[in-house]
Amino acid sequence: MHSIDISEQSGVRSLHFGSDWIQGAMRIARPWALELAYTREMMACLLFGRTSPWPRNALLIGLGAGSLCKFIYRHLPECQIDVVEIHPGVLAAARQFFKLPDDPGRLNVFIDDGADFVKTCEQSYDLIMVDGFGPDARPGRLDLSDFYVACRERLGNDGLIVTNLLGRSRGFRASAARIEESFVRRTIVFPSCDSGNAICFAATGELIDISLDEMRNTAHEVKARMGLDLLPTITRLQLASSFPGNRFRL
């Protein structure tokens, strides 16, 4: 198992796996907020018009500093959360240094390999979020076609998978292609944010077909209710892609 290190700078506490590479971060004064840009981008799934309450349950593969887990726990109180983390020390660090809630009624953390978990579990999920990397910034088995197919099989009707890809990595386009094939082309990759991460969304169930104006209205609601500003994400998406009829389809 790799080492786990904690650093602090300018009011931000960060998690590292034996290198300078940041695996997760928390602003100490705002422990429930999403400090890293790519984690905010992953929550753009809230803009896709799924019928509320959605998601009713979520599977997070890769715990890190627990940022996504804490955000969902805090702001989506009807959502049951399962987390799969391969390194027991990451769970201990998340509890000790990053204020991860201890609430087995709503939040279960499994120490397991995420690739094995999705192949053997029988639970169906509305939302799967994949953000698992080792100390070398490689996702390993979490970037194989059979893993993505297993994730699709774990998703219920109107399910979504959100995957963090390293946009500056040479393997980025190959990863996106594997997801696209596994989800029968129902995918979209948002343009890389400032950190270099590109977020891929893939869907099951009914076609997502909403106007960009509806997405903006939802973004305003999310900002008011959760303090998360997704309006810049919509703007960058418009600049990078064309949307016939001013509609977002997935």
What tens digit of pLDDT does each residue of 80-127 get?
999 999 999 999 999 999 999 999 999 999 999 999 999 999 999 999
Give the model's pLDDT for residue 167: 59
Residue 124's φ and ψ, nearest 5 degrees, are: -105, 140
* Residue 130 covered by a domain: yes
Alpha helices in 121-230 (DSSP H): 145-154, 172-182, 212-226
Give the model's pLDDT for residue 133: 77
Distance CA 200, CA 214 (A): 21
* Residue 24 covered by a domain: no
Give the model's pLDDT for residue 67: 97
**Strands 22-27 and 209-211, how do they pair?**
unpaired
Positions of the chain with pLDDT lower than 50, given as ranges: none
Give the model's pLDDT for residue 134: 65
| Residues spanned by the domain of 126 | 37-249
* Residue 26 covered by a domain: no
Name the strand (E) or helix (H) holding 39: helix 37-42
**Strands 125-130 and 197-203, how do they pair?**
unpaired
Distance CA 145, CA 115 (A): 11
Count of structural domains within the chain: 1
* Residue 73 covered by a domain: yes
| Residue 29: half-sphere exposure toward Cβ, Cα within 13 Å | 3
Distance CA 74, CA 52 (A): 16
Distance CA 53, CA 140 (A): 33
* Residue 11 covered by a domain: no
What letters, b where the CB count within 10 A reaches 16 and e where it falls short, cover 71-108? bbbebbeebbbbbbbbbeebbebbeebbebbeeeeebe
CATH number at residue 220: 3.40.50.150
> Rounded to two decimals, what is the model's pTM?
0.95
* Residue 5 covered by a domain: no
Residue 167's φ and ψ, nearest 5 degrees, are: -65, -20
* Residue 27 covered by a domain: no
* Residue 225 covered by a domain: yes
